[in-house]
């Protein structure tokens, strides 16, 4: 019976949802209505009124400027590149000045607006191209445990492939063994693999051994062909999962003119997964369990960016009815 009731809604979903909305029933749905129905109503509600568009018009209070869009706000300090968005650190590509053009239109379009608008991808994300940094004659940095960055990058990329596949993505790699690939040849491989998203995987190093944590880089707005507002959204979604506010590991979303990012025509970020010059980070990088947790967090961030996976409605209705009997 449950299945038959559901099937009716699949035949007339828009009509049923429309009646509900017109009758003012917008806060709760009857218990008997299954989740696919709720999803349809949600979808219709979403498209029912156009979402608020971020506007480049900051409101100032002292040295703090704030953009608002719906319930979301993005704040910055005059003269400071460091800011946060929903608790995650973010280093602006340039320091905001004062007055109406304090925040350059390009920085607004590429950094603030995509976050205020929800941090989501514009198109469908099906295939992810992973790029384990370095390889072959280029070993990258060396950890305090004498592990080579190129090996740790590949190990993390392979684990990330598993975790992204669990999230429903197709995954390919720029290299799946120890070989050298010039930087300029990496992101163009996206065309060959028909990839929708590019993630470059690295580990960091610093002169100061106490420095640790994660950094996620997007291409500097205006550099190369990478002028995609989605880059900031993707970097932020990943950073807040791998280094949540309060974890002590959040070194922030940053902007850099890296070759692999500026040559990418699809949303692209570069993750510096930890400092191999720091003992704690070096141990984590070499530990398979820690690597799995890190990869699962990256995959969750990518899923948040991409939005819910497409559902085959009729098939899932059948499975859920069977599942309930058990
Ligand atoms: Zn590297």
Find the 307 Cα to ligand 1 centroid distance in Å: 29
Per-state percent for the chain, helix, strand, coil, to nearest 5: 40, 20, 40
> How many whole angstroms from 203 Cα to the centroid of ligand 1?
5
pLDDT value of position 225: 66
- Give the distance (Å) from ligand 1 centre to CA of residue 176: 16
Distance CA 260, CA 175 (A): 14
CA gap 57, 108 in Å, rounded: 10
- Give per-residue pLDDT as tens, 150-193: 999 999 999 999 999 999 999 999 999 999 999 999 999 999 99
Q: Which of 5-19, 30-44, 193-207 has the lowest mean pLDDT?
A: 5-19
Beta carbons of 318 and 3 less than 8 angstroms apart: yes
Overall average pLDDT of the 243-264 stretch: 95
pLDDT band at 312 (very low <50, low <70, confident <90, very high): low
CA of 140 from ligand 1 middle (Å) equals 5
Q: Decide: 296 and 163 in contact? Cβ < 8 Å.
A: yes
Task: Please tell me the distance between residue 267's alpha carbon and the centre of ligand 1 in angstroms.
Answer: 20
What confidence tens digit (pLDDT) does each residue in 108-118 have?
A: 999 999 999 99
pLDDT of res. 100: 67
In the reported structure, the alpha carbon of residue 107 is separated from the centroid of ligand 1 by a whole-number distance in angstroms of 27
Report CA torsion sign: 74, 77, 81, 87. negative
- Going from the Cα of 151 to the center of ligand 1, the distance in angstroms, rounded, reads 11
Mode of pairing for the β-strands spanning 250-256 and 214-219 = parallel
CA distance linking residue 87 with residue 180, whole number of Å:
38
pLDDT at position 222 is: 76
Res. 43 pLDDT band, cuts 50 70 90: very low
Helix (H) or strand (E) holding 204: strand 197-204
Residue ranges covered by each domain of the chain: 2-50, 59-116, 127-306
pLDDT band at residue 224 using 50, 70 and 90 as cut-offs: low
Q: Which residue has the tokens 């975790």?
A: 163
Residue 89 has pLDDT above 60, yes or no: yes
- Evaluate if residue 68 carries a pLDDT over 80: yes
- Contact, 243 vs 281, CB < 8 A? no
Q: Is the pLDDT of residue 10 over 50?
A: no
- How far apart are the CA of 179 and the centre of ligand 1, in A? 14
Contact between residue 116 and residue 56 where contact means Cβ atoms under 8 Å apart: no
**Residues 291-297: what's their mean pLDDT?**
98
> Ligand 1 mean position to 132 CA, how many Å?
9
Residue 233 alpha carbon to ligand 1 centre in Å: 22
Q: Provide the sign of the torsion angle of the four alpha carbons 280, 284, 287, 290, taken in this order.
A: positive
**pLDDT 10s digits, 160-169:** 999 999 999 9
What Rg, from alpha-carbon coordinates, does the chain have?
A: 22
For the 127-306 domain, the top CATH level (class) is alpha beta
Model pLDDT, residue 126 = 97
Tokens of 205: 């190093």
Which pLDDT belongs to residue 38?
45
Distance from residue 141's CA to the centre of ligand 1 (Å): 7
Contact criterion met (CB below 8 Å) for 163 and 207:
no
Q: What percent of the chain has pLDDT over 70?
A: 78
**Around Cβ 62, how many Cβ atoms within 10 Å?**
7
Dist. CA 66 → ligand 1 center (Å):
35
CA of 134 to the centre of ligand 1 (A): 6
> What pLDDT sits at residue 306?
97
State the distance from the centre of ligand 1 to the C-alpha of 65, rounded, in angstroms. 35
Report yes or no: 129 and 189 within 8 Å, Cβ to Cβ.
yes
Q: How many A from CA of 277 to the centre of ligand 1?
A: 12
Residue 56 — very low, low, confident or very high, per pLDDT cuts 50/70/90? confident
Ligand 1 centre to CA of 78 (Å) is 33
Other beta carbons within 10 Å of 105: 10
Residue 269 in tokens: 């970020």
What CA–CA distance (Å, rounded) separates 38 from 36? 5
pLDDT of residue 188: 95
Please give the distance, rounded to the nearest whole angstrom, from the Cα atom of residue 105 to the centre of ligand 1: 32
Q: How many residues does the chain have?
A: 326
What is the rounded distance in angstroms from the CA atom of residue 48 to the CA atom of residue 46? 6
CB atoms within 10 A of CB 28: 6
Does the pLDDT value for residue 132 go beyond 60?
Answer: yes
Residue 37 CA to ligand 1 centre (angstroms):
47
Residue 14, pLDDT score: 37
**Residue with token string 């063994």:** 177
């Amino acid at each position: 019976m449950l299945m038959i009731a559901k099937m009716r809604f699949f035949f007339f979903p828009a009509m049923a949802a429309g009646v509900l909305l017109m009758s003012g029933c917008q806060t709760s749905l009857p218990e008997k209505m299954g989740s696919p129905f709720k999803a349809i109503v949600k979808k219709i509600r979403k498209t029912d009124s156009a979402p608020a568009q971020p506007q480049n018009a900051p409101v100032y209070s002292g040295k703090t400027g704030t953009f608002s869009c719906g319930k979301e706000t993005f704040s910055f300090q005059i003269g400071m590149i460091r800011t946060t968005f929903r608790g995650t650190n973010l280093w602006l590509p340039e320091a905001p000045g004062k007055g109406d053009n304090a925040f350059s239109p390009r920085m607004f379009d590429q950094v603030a607006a995509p976050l205020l608008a929800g941090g989501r991808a514009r198109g469908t994300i099906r295939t992810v191209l992973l790029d384990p940094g370095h390889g072959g004659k280029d070993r990258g940095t060396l950890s305090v445990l004498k592990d080579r960055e190129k090996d740790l990058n590949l190990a993390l990329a392979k684990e990330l492939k598993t975790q992204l596949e669990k999230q429903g993505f197709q995954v390919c790699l720029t290299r799946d063994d120890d070989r050298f690939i010039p930087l300029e040849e990496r992101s163009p491989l996206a065309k060959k693999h028909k990839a929708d998203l590019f993630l470059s995987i690295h580990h960091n190093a610093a002169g100061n051994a106490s420095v640790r944590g994660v950094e996620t880089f997007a291409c500097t707005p205006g550099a190369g062909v990478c002028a995609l507002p989605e880059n900031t959204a993707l970097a932020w979604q990943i950073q807040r999962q791998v280094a949540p506010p309060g974890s002590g590991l959040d070194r922030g979303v940053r902007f850099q003119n890296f070759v692999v990012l500026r040559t990418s025509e699809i949303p692209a970020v570069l993750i510096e997964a930890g400092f191999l010059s720091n003992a704690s980070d070096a141990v984590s990088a070499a530990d398979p369990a820690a690597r799995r947790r890190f990869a699962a967090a990256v995959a969750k961030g990518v899923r948040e960016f991409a939005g819910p996976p497409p559902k085959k409605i009729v098939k899932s209705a059948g499975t859920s009815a069977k599942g309930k009997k058990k």
